[in-house]
Amino acid sequence: MFQKKSKRKKRDASPPPDGVSEIIFCIFDEKHHVHHEFHSKGADTEERDFFKLLNDPLRAFDSSVLSEAVATRQPASLAFSYGEGRMKYLYVLPYERKWGNWRYACMQVATAAPNPDSAKPPCLSALSEDRVCLLLADAQGAIKSSSSKVPEAFGYTPDVLAGMELGDLFTAADLGVIGSCSADTNQSILSCVFHCLDGSRRDVEVKKYSAADHLSLYAVCDVTRPQFNEEITQVSTRERRRIGQDLHDSIGQLLTGISLLSRSLANSLARDDNPGNRDAAQISELADDASNQIRQISRGLMPSEIVHRGLLASLRELAKLTSDSCGIQCEALLDEAVVFADGAVETHLFRIAQEAVNNAVRHSGGSRVEIDVSETNGMPQLEIRDNGCWRNVMENRGGIGMKTMQYRASAINGQLNIGQMESGGTKVTCRLEMEELFETKA
């Protein structure tokens, strides 16, 4: 498949990280000519002899992933097993070099067989848990391509990342550190902060490799402390509560004052037979409408009410507010026997329902939404169904709303599924996996 060229650059690096037997990285074109080759210097000679992706990929494994990446010009990621508990991780990143000429960065990591007497090395845990993404960037920091697997917490899709700059993801100080570090050392650049799509920040480690065409390959690994997820949730909750309270106390009261003054003005003008009384009365009505909307928004932003009233009562109110304010029939079908012991779980489930209902109202074009809480095979689940078809949202799963729902589901050990129903509508289902996982992740 690959034809060797005498002019291609081959680079050797320091030994791969602990637990990894070898790292191979190359740049090849659509004619399968290799223009750049990088090998880490693993100590396991036998393993290096077995690992022959660059020299003879057909003998190494089924190369359909490479062929598909070349044909579709889409990034591809694959994890596969071989040997005695060994794993390989393959990443293919297509990018347009110039004048319509395409090249492909291909990185493959072979891991050593696990030692049952020792803990799994951190780098292997990161790979297996999809906490690593690859970014191929030029000397000016423009990202040319991204691996197809991007940590969910980052919030980005490969297509979005491919049009960004490294400066959009890292601070200037971090970029300076990354730029000053040597490439191809297999050493992590520590203490970097990654800026996620939703405005949050994640702690990451970065590995840097040199590539052809004046490009660099960055392996970005999410190493955020587990408890940081809960910290993000708590900060978000506090901010929602503060904004909701400010809306209710300040803007809400201001609108109430405007309504009272304009109503008084309308009455005064009416006594004087001034036709302007109708305008003043209309201002009062508009202020009342705005005040009611502010009240509804503030209620939705204050999750403490969810905890106090309980999830089922909050979902009933959500259905009523949707029916009253959106002109769409929204019904809550709730099994009273389902109990959630953790208020944080209830808050996350309510936010998922809120986002799904908002999507149905805005995008489905349907006339009915159902909010269902029930048990399936003994497992509690939340399901939101509509009789419309929000096709654009289904096709664009990288939207912030979708990512937020996915994050909230993962925070409570739930499985989120979004799909079309046979009747033509759409359903969003969040199912909790087991009783002992009702509490949020630490």
> What's the pLDDT tens digit per position in 315-326?
888 888 888 777
Query: For residue 51, what pLDDT is reported?
Result: 41
In DSSP terms, 105 is beta-bridged to: 27, 93
Query: For residue 438, what pLDDT is reported?
Result: 41
Torsion angles phi and psi, residue 288, rounded to 5: -65, -45
What's 305-442's CATH class? alpha beta
Residue 440 has pLDDT above 50, yes or no: no
Query: For residue 56, what pLDDT is reported?
Result: 52
- Give the model confidence (pLDDT) of 86-106 as tens digits: 788 888 899 988 777 899 888
Q: Which of 11-20, 123-132, 199-208, 428-437 has the lowest mean pLDDT?
A: 428-437
Residue 83 has pLDDT above 60, yes or no: yes
Across residues 335-347, what is the average pLDDT?
Answer: 77
Nearest to 160 by CA among 26, 417, 169: 169
Whether 383 and 428 have beta carbons less than 8 Å apart is answered as yes
At residue 355's C-alpha, the angle toward residues 349 and 358, to 5°, is 140
Query: For residue 219, what pLDDT is reported?
Result: 92
In CATH, 9-224 is 3.30.450.20: yes
Structural tokens at position 58? 């057909």
Nearest to 421 by CA among 398, 394, 396: 394
Query: For residue 420, what pLDDT is reported?
Result: 80
- Give the model confidence (pLDDT) of 44-64 as tens digits: 545 444 445 555 544 434 567
Torsion of CA 167, 169, 16, 181, to 10 degrees: 30
In DSSP terms, 133 is beta-bridged to: 220
At residue 399's C-alpha, the angle toward residues 397 and 404, to 5°, is 100
3-state secondary structure of 245: helix
Residues with Cβ within 8 Å of residue 124, at least 6 apart in sequence: 19, 20, 87, 111, 114
Q: What average pLDDT does the structure give for the chain? A: 77
Across residues 182-204, what is the average pLDDT?
Answer: 86
Whether 409 and 370 have beta carbons less than 8 Å apart is answered as no
Across residues 237-262, what is the average pLDDT?
Answer: 68
Whether 433 and 379 have beta carbons less than 8 Å apart is answered as yes
Query: For residue 4, what pLDDT is reported?
Result: 47
Query: For residue 94, what pLDDT is reported?
Result: 92
Query: For residue 143, what pLDDT is reported?
Result: 94
Q: Which of 148-157, 221-230, 329-338, 361-370 has the lowest mean pLDDT?
A: 221-230
Distances from the Cα of 121 to the Cαs of 3, 24, 104, 297, 345, in angstroms? 35, 19, 29, 47, 32
Whether 184 and 210 have beta carbons less than 8 Å apart is answered as yes
Q: Residue 355: left if φ>0, alpha if ψ -120 to 50, beta else—which one?
A: alpha
- Give the model confidence (pLDDT) of 22-37 as tens digits: 888 888 888 777 788 8
Between these two residues, 333 and 62, which has the higher pLDDT value? Answer: 333
Q: Can you tell me the distance from the alpha carbon of 439 to that of 413, in angstroms, rounded to the nearest whole number? A: 8
Residue 194's pLDDT band, with cuts at 50, 70 and 90, is very high
Between these two residues, 356 and 124, which has the higher pLDDT value? Answer: 356
Residue 42's pLDDT band, with cuts at 50, 70 and 90, is low
